[in-house]
């Protein structure tokens, strides 16, 4: 396992198969596809230099020179050979001085991942205007919520870097585009919520071409294309310039004044508001990094993108409704947001959603727009909840735990010719750059070798799925001299400081073919990565494939893998054993089956969409926690130690810390709970107890500090109502119909199978 | 039943106290004394709003016209009347009252002539003033001319002369107008212009007979002319010469045979034959102007027999048809000589007439609409509320069509009463609502006949017998009337107001909502229109009704619409822009319209900052239609008044318009036939919108402050349909129009008015309403929907017969207006008018109401302008006149010789007015499209008293004010001068006003000190085209200001002042008002008379 982590720390990449099946048939037997989970902006070791020049590129395939390139120092005209297409390339003159002893950094063997600062003159020109934040604020919420939201926003305003541009749109029944640059009065452009406005109309109606003739043709976009800075500056202002105005607007912000009949939902035109925000950014700052930050307090009921009618008698959609396809608004809304996402991707802008409501707000429909633009999403019950408040603060926080928000990324892949790309599951959008590397099988964002990442941050992780197309061919096996596959991931992006950068990661993986490859493959198997890839895959399939049965698919895959890679005698379940490399994979699968990603019926479509979006953007470590939460036990007897994710881990004198990524539960055993209630920890003689109580809290805080979105912290006692957050995640080894009493004194009221039963079945089926 | 009326504070001071108006009247020099008086009058509550809680139900308007119009105030009343008590009225007024057909009393005076006649005249028309003036200056020319001209006439003349001069009160001139004129006239022109001619004329053709003038109208003008004493009317010689000059000087009287028959009085002209109308002296008598062509019209021209008796008048039972009329002999050949001074002219009177609506249980014919009168409601409603074109109703449709007159009512339900009139009584019937006929739903009124010991009553409209509600029962007295009839206003007054019960409300009475919508497009900003509007609104805010029911909103617009959230909680008003002008909406449902008390500060700040906020606005487009629609949407829940300030042609958004005028101009040669289409709305968009507005009780008033074409034809549809009106400031000048804008706006919001009104007129069986016309929306044929109605709005109701009426019965008309006061009371104002029915054609002519008839003709013409070629409309107007005169000539004036043009006394000015109409903005061929559209629109709701000045403005001489000061008694306004350029002298300064505009013409050789005193300039060249009237510290200037203020008060209009001088366009404009002149496209008055005469003659044969 450790070696995979090392690899990850060097190249930010985790692959289920680090030794690849060399042929199509072998790959098919592997069940889990050849894939990579790549975190493009994972912070590099501090020692890594930032190369202040543009990389050398192969003149044939445009891949970037890497340590794997073969360099011929001998000839006078020094030459490097592209490792992907074997093209011979001359070095440019300024490289003439290189030698084996004098290598440029990009050729250092350990610098398989390296970052260049590219010069992009036009981007440079804009220099400082690093980022644009356009707040889109829902006002159809109760006063209390609005109060929370206002204070959160006011707080955040103070944190926005001074050179960032800020804009504000509020909406309810109508959309209010605030003109922050108008000194005399607060000024608002009001658009009807029920009507979609086109970009042209917006240009027209907001008076962007008042003082100069409108270009007769061509795309109208930004200052470069004929818009006066003045007219842009009406809506988007440097934070330092508009702080006062914005503060007063926010302070006076009122609940949407339109009356709501008691049998109706508030008229909320989320879709129109977002569309207007997109237009506004498209008009003012196309191509430069900008984020639409939407704060939603309820479902959209008005205009395009409505997810439900205003009539309260119509219940909001559930998974069941979606399955039955009986949701009248769903497809229309999704279609609308797809169009919005296309527009945003085209403009290079991000949609972030902060959905804070007890009700669903339509994240399921918005998912496409958030995900394709690489937006952040936070789901909470209330604007007053710390999940929201702290998450929002994190976005603007600088320092160690900053999110490293970057923008305008373009991601490209080069790989050896026997490998093709099926697609990417993750927060990106296809740029439709088709080429020979595109596989015919498509998953996620496929059919391309370049993707747009409008927004990306330090943890944004893409799951790239490949296809081996090499046919089984004895010859090939014979000449295994060159059994390396190469992958190169190129990420251009605009760094938070405004620089344009290019990060190049080049990977080389050995492939094997023919009989007897099992051991080789096992040796390169990364269970965690595999589990995550399976999770992303199953989520994706559940969303896209009709009639898809995820449990069955997961079980079949697991059984297949077990029978493929397990050691057993046929039809003898008891003889079954798995290599340590694979040993906990079944457990991952067991928990995955029980996870929120697969068991959707306890969740709303919004929650499911939320979970999946996070899953699709997080790195392996975080994703694994989502799939199989971690459980740490604290007791007087021992220090913190991992505990089995099993109901059996519950004990009266233990404190458990469960990290299921979205929720962190501090669970006090019944005895501890009693002590706590009695207030012993406040007594000086019981300092140890106080420490015991504090330890999990400290650990939880540490987790919370690093995580985005900020998880929900639940502190509960055994048998308390909140204990359900823990129990739901535990292996139900003791249920109400198991015999005897569990050691911890707790049982789980469920009919779900326990892990033991699951394993029994697995062994039985695997050996058949 | 609550006791109706009684204590009801109907009298409570009107809520609207015009005084308030005065205070801010800019640029008005206020007569302090008057003001004080006024305030006294208002007496009880100067600022009613505060003082009178609703509970008291101060009838908003009842108080009569908002009180004593303080000087400076618009209120019309002449200052004197302002005093509360009638007693204050000049003594002579009272007797004077009976203008037209005074009962027998008059005649004697005539006969005896001198003294009484004097009294009459003054009283009659209130001509007191005019005569004097006439008299005053007269002497000179007068004496001389008569002498020269004619032996016979002169003597009398002279005799009069002195008399007149002496006691101003008696203007002998009046009655004897006949005699007087000639001399005067002669005198005037002759001296300078054409003495030679004159003489010959005289000798040759003593053609013209002295005009007989009804006291009210007749002579004064002439007098005035003379007084002005134009040394040499520029045109006089040539123009007049042919037709009139001869006649005029002819002091026909003297020379001409007609004169021969010396009137009984001393009047030379009075026809020898008693029956003849001739007598110039007798107001009613017909004057015939013998045709001059033939040498002598020796023939005594007593056209109509019995003319003498005219004096018996209307009140008289039918039977005697003494028809007052006036005849002129006009030469068919055109050689006719007519004395222009003898032809009928309007005279204004400044003395007050006291009018009882019924007398001896007979309807009393009303005084002229243009006169100043005080009404005592004795059963019929005041003529201010309803005037009928004929004060007797023809029994059959045949009779009516024979007369060629039309039968119509002009209804002005909230008309401003005279301050001295009793307020309208308010009657509360409690929950059950007012008593009404159960069949036709007409309201209880003095003409419902109670029978069967009061247990039942017979409806005077449908004849149905209703049960008297038990609560309302009362025994009858010996006279057959209910014993309580005199205590119950609804049984003894022509006009009462009922408190509406629940069943009259579909919702709670709406609040008073005022929404201001201001154009801030580039043009509006740059011309200062926006600033003017903002400043006007800002000042007017304090004049809006007080109280929690007053709500205001404000929005501005260019190519987008900007609303303002005025909620007090906000630190600043919040500007809400509606950018979509194709599909508009209101950005907020609440908070855009806020209680005035809550947003006063915000509003003030906002109004102050709007002009600067948009200072650099470069948006030239204006989304009028969209803005109006959006504002409407904001007001939809309540309804209310939408006041729009628009400066340019709406060029974008819903209902945008194009400069079709320009297109029209380029096509005009080709498409002359289609020219009138430019006066029609371009399409239905605005109309459709307006109908929706009306449905939701939104009334739009449009203030157009522009310097270009704005397509008023299209725009005006909105105000017209919603009961609003158009104000037009063209070309707008921020300097000189700001004050008017403010005052117009102020009057608009302060004047007595009501909201969400419905009006219906009911008629007795046999007559029914044919059509309503005015500014309103009509969804069902019987009712008129008025989102708002105010004291200045008049609705014309044309009537038709559907059955015969019985001679000797009365026919009643009842106008019921259900409305909400600005203080949120639902009221029904019911005015009932009962008129006698007649079978006699002559009665119709005798009881014709000229002002009303002409108002109808004018309004009909205005309605028809857009629907056909202009020539056709003009012909129709002339034909209407001809047909009436022809009918009279043929059926009532049988005896007269064919050579005479015989005019019924009551309608003698019809030709003059018709001619003036033809020359008015609306019917002129050369006017700007917008001017004509505005004219049409202005005319539509125009009250009768303003109709006449509109076509025949009042002109007075300013430069002589000083000298005449002493002669002027309490009336501020001097005698007016006929609108003929021969009365304008080069060294004179004249003021001409038509209720809208006020032109001050400065001749080229005016004395420098006059200029200095009046305008503070030393030469005519310094006159700027942006004029502001200032008051300087000298009597002349003060006098002028006093006059202007008085006119403003009378007209309830601030007047657009313009200074005109000869030789430029302003001068041209001034002279275009000289309707009696011959113009390239129009006949002179005399020519027109001849034209009409010929037409009649040709019909006769």
Residue B1032 — pLDDT band, cuts 50, 70, 90?
confident
CA distance A503 to A496: 14
> Would you tell me which residues 384-443 of chain A have a C-beta closer than 8 angstroms to some C-beta of chain B?
none
Q: DSSP assignment of B593-608, as one string?
A: EEEHHHHHHHHHHHHH
Q: How far is B613 from chain A (nearest CA, A)?
A: 7
Q: Is A763 in a helix, a strand, or coil?
A: helix
Residue A57 near residue A46 (C-beta atoms within 8 A): no
Q: How far is B576 from chain A (nearest CA, A)?
A: 5
Please list every residue in chain A whose beta carbon sits closer than 8 Å to the beta carbon of residue B589: 257-259
**Which residues of chain A, if any, have pLDDT below 70?**
1, 119-130, 209-227, 472-481, 739-745
A205 vs B563, B579, B618: nearest CB: B579
- Work out whether strand B997-1002 and strand B989-993 pair parallel, antiparallel, or are unpaired: antiparallel
- In total, the C-beta contacts within 8 angstroms joining chain A to chain B are 74
The predicted pLDDT at position B570 comes to 76
CB contact under 8 A, B577 and A187: yes
Nearest CA in chain A to B617: A210
Nearest CA in chain A to B613: A184
| Residue B90 predicted with pLDDT over 80 | no
CA distance B855 to B850: 8
Q: List the structure tokens of B21.
A: 């108006």
Nearest CA in chain B to A205: B579
Q: How far is A268 from chain B (nearest CA, A)?
A: 14
CB contact under 8 A, A184 and B581: no
Residue B350 — pLDDT band, cuts 50, 70, 90?
low
The predicted pLDDT at position B1012 comes to 87
The conformational region for residue B237 under phi > 0 = left, psi -120 to 50 = alpha, else beta, is alpha
Q: List the structure tokens of B669.
A: 């040669």
DSSP letter, residue B153: H
> Residue A686 burial by CB count (10 A; 0-12/13-18/19+): exposed, middle or buried?
middle
Please list every residue in chain B whose beta carbon sits closer than 8 Å to the beta carbon of residue A207: 559-560, 619
CA distance B280 to B174: 10
CB contact under 8 A, A192 and B618: no
Residue of B580, B581, B604 best to disrupt the A interface, most CBs of A under 10 A: B580
CB contact under 8 A, A176 and B576: yes
A211 vs B571, B590, B618: nearest CB: B618
Q: Is B552 in a helix, a strand, or coil?
A: strand
Residue B487 near residue B526 (C-beta atoms within 8 A): no
Residue B574 near residue B565 (C-beta atoms within 8 A): yes
Residues in CB range of B115: below 8 A, 6 or more apart: B109, B170
The predicted pLDDT at position B1080 comes to 82
Helix axes B596-613, B529-540, angle to 10 degrees: 160
Q: List the structure tokens of B625.
A: 């239609």
B572 vs A176, A186, A211: nearest CB: A186
CB contact under 8 A, B619 and A210: yes
The predicted pLDDT at position A741 comes to 60
When mean pLDDT is compared across A268-282, B487-501, B586-600, B968-982, the lowest value belongs to B968-982
CB contact under 8 A, A184 and B559: no
Residue A606 near residue A379 (C-beta atoms within 8 A): yes
Q: What angle do CA B114, B115, B116 make, to 5 degrees?
A: 100
CB contact under 8 A, B587 and A258: no
Give the containing element (helix H, strand E) for A144. Answer: helix A143-157
Residue of A190, A194, A197 best to disrupt the B interface, most CBs of B under 10 A: A190
A186 vs B575, B578, B587: nearest CB: B575
Q: List the structure tokens of B1017.
A: 């300039």
The predicted pLDDT at position B325 comes to 62
Numbered residues of chain B with Cβ closer than 8 Å to any chain A Cβ: 559-560, 562-564, 569-581, 583, 585, 587-591, 606, 609, 612-613, 618-619
Write out B493-514 in H/E/C secondary structure: CCEEEEECCHHHCCCCCCCEEE
Residue B566 near residue B594 (C-beta atoms within 8 A): yes
Please list every residue in chain A whose beta carbon sits closer than 8 Å to the beta carbon of residue B653: none
Residue of A173, A184, A193 best to disrupt the B interface, most CBs of B under 10 A: A184
Please list every residue in chain B whose beta carbon sits closer than 8 Å to the beta carbon of residue A184: 609, 612-613
Please list every residue in chain A whose beta carbon sits closer than 8 Å to the beta carbon of residue B612: 184
Q: List the structure tokens of B297.
A: 């019209």
CA distance A535 to A595: 10
Q: List the structure tokens of B945.
A: 């008293």
A257 vs B563, B575, B590: nearest CB: B590
A248 vs B563, B571, B606: nearest CB: B571
> Would you tell me which residues 187-226 of chain A have a C-beta closer than 8 angstroms to some C-beta of chain B?
187-192, 195, 197, 201, 205-207, 210-211
What ipTM does this complex have? 0.85
Q: List the structure tokens of B1019.
A: 């030469």
Q: What angle do CA B310, B312, B317 make, to 5 degrees?
A: 115
Residue B587 — pLDDT band, cuts 50, 70, 90?
confident
- Work out whether strand B698-705 and strand B640-646 pair parallel, antiparallel, or are unpaired: parallel
Please list every residue in chain B whose beta carbon sits closer than 8 Å to the beta carbon of residue A191: 579-580
DSSP bridge partners of B595: B551
DSSP letter, residue B261: S
Residue B792 near residue B757 (C-beta atoms within 8 A): no
CB contact under 8 A, A207 and B570: no
Please list every residue in chain A whose beta carbon sits closer than 8 Å to the beta carbon of residue B652: none
Please list every residue in chain B whose beta carbon sits closer than 8 Å to the beta carbon of residue A210: 618-619
CB contact under 8 A, B572 and A207: no
| Residue B229 predicted with pLDDT over 60 | no
Residues in CB range of B171: below 8 A, 6 or more apart: B118, B121, B122, B127, B128, B130, B131, B132, B134, B135, B164, B219, B220, B223
B580 vs A192, A210, A258: nearest CB: A192
Q: List the structure tokens of B633.
A: 């949407």
Give the containing element (helix H, strand E) for B654. Answer: none
The predicted pLDDT at position B897 comes to 64
Q: Rank A468-482, B58-72, B127-141, B186-200 by mean pLDDT and report only the highest.
A: A468-482
Please list every residue in chain A whose beta carbon sits closer than 8 Å to the beta carbon of residue B594: none
Helix axes B944-951, B910-918, angle to 10 degrees: 70
Please list every residue in chain B whose beta carbon sits closer than 8 Å to the beta carbon of residue A174: 585, 587
Residue B21 near residue B74 (C-beta atoms within 8 A): yes
B580 vs A191, A252, A259: nearest CB: A191
Q: What are A328-356's pLDDT values in tens digits? A: 899 999 999 999 999 999 988 999 999 99
- Work out whether strand A462-468 and strand B456-458 pair parallel, antiparallel, or are unpaired: unpaired
Residue B468 near residue B491 (C-beta atoms within 8 A): no
Residues in CB range of B632: below 8 A, 6 or more apart: B642, B689, B692, B693, B696, B698
The predicted pLDDT at position A480 comes to 52
A189 vs B577, B609, B613: nearest CB: B577
The conformational region for residue B1052 under phi > 0 = left, psi -120 to 50 = alpha, else beta, is left
b vs e for B136-159, b when ≥16 Cβ sit within 10 Å of the residue's Cβ? bbbbebbbbbbbbbbebbbbbbbb
CB contact under 8 A, A174 and B585: yes
CA distance B365 to B633: 47
B587 vs A174, A186, A195: nearest CB: A174
- Whose tokens are 């009961």? That residue is B723
Is there a cis peptide before residue A709, judged by omega within 30 degrees of 0? yes
Q: What are phi and psi of B761, to 5 degrees?
A: -110, 130
Residue of A185, A212, A213, A230 best to disrupt the B interface, most CBs of B under 10 A: A185
CA distance B581 to B623: 7
Residues in CB range of B463: below 8 A, 6 or more apart: B765
CA distance B135 to A329: 90
Q: How far is CA A641 from CA A585, A634, A644, in A?
A: 21, 7, 10
Please list every residue in chain A whose beta carbon sits closer than 8 Å to the beta carbon of residue B578: 189-190
Residue B907 near residue B893 (C-beta atoms within 8 A): no
Q: List the structure tokens of B740.
A: 């008017």
Across B289-369, the runs of DSSP E, i.e. the strands, are 325-329, 352-356, 358-359, 362-363
The predicted pLDDT at position A126 comes to 47
Residues in CB range of A147: below 8 A, 6 or more apart: none
Residue B435 near residue B429 (C-beta atoms within 8 A): yes
The conformational region for residue A164 under phi > 0 = left, psi -120 to 50 = alpha, else beta, is beta
The conformational region for residue B1071 under phi > 0 = left, psi -120 to 50 = alpha, else beta, is alpha
Please list every residue in chain A whose beta carbon sits closer than 8 Å to the beta carbon of residue B576: 176, 188-190
CB atoms within 10 A of CB B337: 32
The predicted pLDDT at position B771 comes to 93
Residue A305 near residue A365 (C-beta atoms within 8 A): yes
| Residue B909 predicted with pLDDT over 70 | yes
pLDDT, chain B, mean: 73
Question: CB distance from A248 to chain B under 8 Å?
Answer: yes
Is there a cis peptide before residue B731, judged by omega within 30 degrees of 0? yes
Handedness of CA B75, B77, B81, B86 (dihedral sign): negative
Residues in CB range of B1028: below 8 A, 6 or more apart: B27, B735, B736, B739, B1057
């Amino acid at each position: 396992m450790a070696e995979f982590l090392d690899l990850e720390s060097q190249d930010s990449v985790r692959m289920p198969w680090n030794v690849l099946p060399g042929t199509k048939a072998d790959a098919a037997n592997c069940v889990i596809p050849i894939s990579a989970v790549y975190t493009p902006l994972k912070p590099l070791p501090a020692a890594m230099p930032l190369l202040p020049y543009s990389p050398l590129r192969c003149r044939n395939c445009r891949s970037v020179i890497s340590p794997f390139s073969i360099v011929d120092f001998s000839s006078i005209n020094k030459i490097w050979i592209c490792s992907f297409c074997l093209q011979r390339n001359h070095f440019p003159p300024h490289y003439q001085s290189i030698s084996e002893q004098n290598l440029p950094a990009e050729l250092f063997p350990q610098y398989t991942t390296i970052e260049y600062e590219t010069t992009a003159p036009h981007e440079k020109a804009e220099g400082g205007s690093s980022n644009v934040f356009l707040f889109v604020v829902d006002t159809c919420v109760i006063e209390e919520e609005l109060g929370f939201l206002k204070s959160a926003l006011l707080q955040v305003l103070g944190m926005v870097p001074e050179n960032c541009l800020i804009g504000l749109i509020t909406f309810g029944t109508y959309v209010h585009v605030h003109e922050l640059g108008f000194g005399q009065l607060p000024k608002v452009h009001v658009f009807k919520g029920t009507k979609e406005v086109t970009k042209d109309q917006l240009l027209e109606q907001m008076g962007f071409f008042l003082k100069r003739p409108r270009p007769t043709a061509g795309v109208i976009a930004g200052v470069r294309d004929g818009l006066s800075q003045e007219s842009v500056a009406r809506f988007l202002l440097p934070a330092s310039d508009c702080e006062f105005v914005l503060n007063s607007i926010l302070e006076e912000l009122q609940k949407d004044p339109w009356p709501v009949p008691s049998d109706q939902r508030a008229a909320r035109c989320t879709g129109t508001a977002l569309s207007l925000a997109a237009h506004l950014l498209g008009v003012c700052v196309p191509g430069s990094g900008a984020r639409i930050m939407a704060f939603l307090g309820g479902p959209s009921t008005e205009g395009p993108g409505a997810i439900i009618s205003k009539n309260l008698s119509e219940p909001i959609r559930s998974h069941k409704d979606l399955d039955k396809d009986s949701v009248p608004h769903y497809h229309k809304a999704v279609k609308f947001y797809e169009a919005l996402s296309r527009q945003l991707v085209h403009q290079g802008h991000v949609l972030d959603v902060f959905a804070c409501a007890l009700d669903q707000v339509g994240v399921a429909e918005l998912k496409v727009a958030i995900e394709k633009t690489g937006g952040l999403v936070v789901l909470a019950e209330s604007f007053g909840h710390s999940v929201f408040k702290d998450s929002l603060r994190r976005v603007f926080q600088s320092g160690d735990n900053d999110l490293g928000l970057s923008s305008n990324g373009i991601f490209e892949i080069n790989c050896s010719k026997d490998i093709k790309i099926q697609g990417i599951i993750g927060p990106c959008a296809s740029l439709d750059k088709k080429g020979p590397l595109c596989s015919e099988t498509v998953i996620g964002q496929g059919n391309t070798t370049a993707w747009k990442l409008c927004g990306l941050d330090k943890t944004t992780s893409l799951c790239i799925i490949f296809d081996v197309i090499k046919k089984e061919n004895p010859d090939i096996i014979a000449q295994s001299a060159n059994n390396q596959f190469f992958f190169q991931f190129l990420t251009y992006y605009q760094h938070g400081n405004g620089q344009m950068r290019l990060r190049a990661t080049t990977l080389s993986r050995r492939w094997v073919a023919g009989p007897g490859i099992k051991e080789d493959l096992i040796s390169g198997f990364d269970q965690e990565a595999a589990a995550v890839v399976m999770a992303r895959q199953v989520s994706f399939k559940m969303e896209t494939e009709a009639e898809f049965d995820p449990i069955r698919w997961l079980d079949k895959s697991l059984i297949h893998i077990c029978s493929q890679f397990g050691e057993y005698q046929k039809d003898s379940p008891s003889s079954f054993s798995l290599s340590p490399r694979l040993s906990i994979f079944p457990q991952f699968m067991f928990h995955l089956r029980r996870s929120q990603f697969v068991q959707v019926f306890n969740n709303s479509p919004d929650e499911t969409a939320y979970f999946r979006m996070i899953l699709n953007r997080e790195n392996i470590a975080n994703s694994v926690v989502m799939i199989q939460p971690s459980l740490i036990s604290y007791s007087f007897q021992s220090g913190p130690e991992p505990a089995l994710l099993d109901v059996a881990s519950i004990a009266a004198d233990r404190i458990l810390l469960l990290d299921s990524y979205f929720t962190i539960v501090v669970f006090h055993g019944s005895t501890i709970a009693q002590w706590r209630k009695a207030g012993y920890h406040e007594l000086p003689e019981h300092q140890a107890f106080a420490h015991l109580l504090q330890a999990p809290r400290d650990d939880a805080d540490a987790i919370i500090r690093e995580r985005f979105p900020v998880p929900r912290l639940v502190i509960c006692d055994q048998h308390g109502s909140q204990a359900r957050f823990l129990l739901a995640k535990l292996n139900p080894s003791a249920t109400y119909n198991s015999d005897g009493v569990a050691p911890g004194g707790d049982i789980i009221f469920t009919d779900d199978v326990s892990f033991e039963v699951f394993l029994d079945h697995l062994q039985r089926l695997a050996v058949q | 039943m609550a006791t109706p009326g009684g204590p009801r504070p109907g009298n409570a001071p009107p809520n609207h106290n015009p005084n308030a108006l005065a205070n801010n009247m800019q640029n008005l020099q206020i007569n302090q004394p008057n003001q004080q008086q006024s305030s006294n009058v208002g007496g009880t509550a100067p600022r009613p709003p505060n003082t009178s809680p609703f509970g008291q139900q101060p009838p908003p308007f009842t108080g009569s016209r908002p009180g004593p119009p303080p000087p400076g105030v618009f209120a019309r009343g002449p200052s004197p009347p302002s005093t509360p008590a009638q007693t204050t009225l000049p003594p002579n007024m009272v007797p004077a009252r009976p203008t037209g057909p005074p009962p027998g009393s008059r005649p004697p005076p005539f006969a005896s002539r001198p003294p009484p006649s004097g009294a009459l005249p003054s009283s009659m028309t209130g001509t007191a003033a005019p005569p004097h003036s006439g008299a005053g200056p007269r002497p000179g020319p007068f004496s001389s001319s008569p002498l020269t001209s004619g032996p016979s006439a002169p003597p009398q003349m002279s005799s009069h002369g002195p008399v007149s001069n002496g006691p101003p009160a008696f203007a002998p001139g009046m009655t004897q107008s006949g005699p007087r004129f000639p001399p005067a006239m002669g005198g005037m022109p002759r001296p300078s212009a054409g003495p030679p001619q004159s003489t010959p004329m005289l000798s040759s053709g003593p053609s013209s007979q002295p005009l007989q003038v009804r006291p009210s109208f007749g002579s004064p003008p002439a007098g005035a002319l003379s007084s002005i004493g134009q040394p040499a009317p520029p045109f006089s010689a040539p123009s007049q010469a042919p037709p009139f000059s001869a006649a005029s000087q002819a002091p026909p009287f003297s020379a001409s045979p007609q004169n021969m028959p010396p009137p009984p009085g001393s009047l030379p002209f009075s026809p020898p034959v008693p029956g003849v109308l001739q007598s110039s002296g007798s107001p009613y008598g017909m004057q015939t102007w013998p045709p001059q062509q033939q040498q002598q019209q020796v023939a005594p021209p007593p056209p109509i027999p019995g003319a003498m008796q005219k004096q018996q008048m209307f009140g008289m039972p039918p039977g005697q048809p003494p028809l007052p009329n006036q005849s002129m002999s006009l030469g068919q050949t055109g050689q006719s000589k007519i004395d222009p001074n003898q032809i009928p002219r309007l005279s204004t009177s400044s003395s007050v007439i006291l009018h009882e609506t019924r007398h001896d249980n007979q309807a009393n014919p009303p005084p002229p609409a243009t006169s100043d009168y005080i009404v005592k409601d004795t059963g019929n409603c005041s003529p201010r509320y309803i005037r009928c074109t004929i004060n007797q109703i023809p029994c059959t449709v045949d009779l009516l069509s024979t007369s060629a007159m039309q039968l119509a009512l002009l209804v002005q339900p909230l008309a401003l009463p005279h301050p001295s009139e009793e307020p309208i009584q308010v009657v509360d019937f409690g929950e059950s609502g007012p008593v009404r006929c159960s069949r036709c739903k007409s309201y209880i009124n003095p003409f419902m006949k109670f029978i069967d010991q009061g247990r039942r009553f017979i409806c005077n409209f449908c004849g149905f017998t209703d049960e008297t509600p038990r609560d309302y029962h009362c025994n009858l007295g010996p006279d057959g009337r209910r014993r309580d009839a005199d205590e119950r206003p609804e049984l003894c007054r022509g006009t009462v107001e009922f408190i509406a019960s629940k069943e009259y409300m579909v919702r709670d009475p709406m609040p008073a909502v005022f929404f201001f919508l201001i154009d801030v497009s580039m043009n509006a900003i740059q011309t200062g229109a926006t600033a003017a509007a903002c400043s006007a609104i800002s000042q007017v805010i304090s004049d809006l009704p007080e109280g929690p029911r007053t709500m205001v909103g404000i929005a501005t617009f260019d190519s987008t619409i900007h609303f303002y959230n005025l909620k007090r909680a906000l630190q600043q008003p919040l500007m809400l822009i509606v950018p979509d002008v194709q599909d508009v909406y209101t950005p907020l449902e609440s908070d855009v319209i806020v209680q005035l008390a809550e947003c006063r500060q915000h509003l003030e700040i906002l109004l102050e900052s709007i002009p600067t906020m948009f200072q650099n606005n470069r948006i030239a487009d204006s989304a009028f239609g969209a803005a109006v629609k959006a504002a409407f949407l904001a007001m939809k829940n309540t309804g209310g008044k939408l006041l729009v300030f628009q400066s340019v042609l709406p060029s974008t958004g819903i209902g945008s318009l194009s400069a079709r005028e320009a297109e029209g101009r380029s096509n005009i040669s080709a498409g002359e036939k289609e020219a009138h289409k430019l006066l029609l709305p371009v399409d239905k968009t605005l109309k459709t919108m307006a109908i929706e507005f009306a449905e939701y009780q939104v009334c739009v008033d449009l203030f157009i402050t522009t310097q270009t074409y704005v397509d008023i034809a299209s725009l005006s549809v909105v105000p017209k349909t919603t009961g609003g009106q158009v104000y037009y400031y063209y070309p707008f000048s921020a300097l000189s129009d700001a004050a008017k804008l403010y005052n117009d706006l102020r009057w608009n919001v302060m004047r007595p008015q009501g909201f969400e009104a419905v009006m219906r007129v009911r008629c007795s069986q046999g007559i029914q309403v044919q059509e309503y016309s005015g500014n309103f929306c009509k969804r069902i044929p019987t009712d008129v929907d008025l989102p708002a109605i105010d004291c200045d709005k008049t609705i014309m109701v044309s009537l038709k017969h559907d059955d015969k009426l019985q001679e000797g019965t009365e026919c009643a008309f009842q106008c019921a207006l259900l409305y909400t006061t600005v203080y949120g009371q639902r009221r029904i104002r019911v005015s009932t008018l009962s008129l006698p029915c007649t079978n006699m054609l002559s009665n119709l002519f005798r009881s014709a109401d000229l002002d009303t008839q002409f108002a109808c003709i004018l309004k009909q013409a205005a309605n028809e302008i857009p629907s056909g070629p202009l020539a056709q409309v003009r012909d129709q107007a002339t034909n209407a006149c001809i047909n009436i005169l022809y009918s009279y000539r043929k059926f009532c004036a049988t005896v007269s010789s064919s050579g005479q043009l015989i005019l019924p006394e009551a309608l003698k000015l019809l030709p003059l007015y018709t001619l003036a109409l033809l020359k008015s903005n609306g019917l002129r061929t050369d006017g700007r499209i917008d001017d004509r559209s505005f004219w049409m629109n202005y005319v539509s709701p125009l009250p009768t008293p303003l109709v006449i000045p509109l076509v025949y403005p009042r002109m007075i001489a300013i430069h002589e004010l000083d000298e005449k000061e002493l002669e002027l008694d309490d009336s501020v306004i001097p005698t007016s001068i006929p609108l003929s350029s021969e009365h304008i002298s080069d060294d004179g300064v004249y003021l001409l006003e038509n209720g809208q505009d006020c032109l001050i013409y400065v001749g080229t050789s005016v004395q420098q000190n006059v200029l200095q005193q009046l305008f503070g300039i030393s030469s005519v060249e310094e006159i700027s085209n942006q004029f502001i009237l200032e008051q300087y510290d000298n009597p002349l200037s003060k006098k002028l200001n006093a006059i202007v203020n008085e006119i403003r008060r009378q007209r309830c209009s601030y007047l657009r002042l313009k200074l005109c001088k000869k030789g430029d366009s302003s001068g041209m404009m001034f002279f275009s008002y000289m309707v009696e002149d011959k113009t390239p496209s129009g006949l002179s008055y005399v020519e027109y008379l001849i034209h009409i005469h010929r037409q009649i003659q040709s019909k006769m044969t």
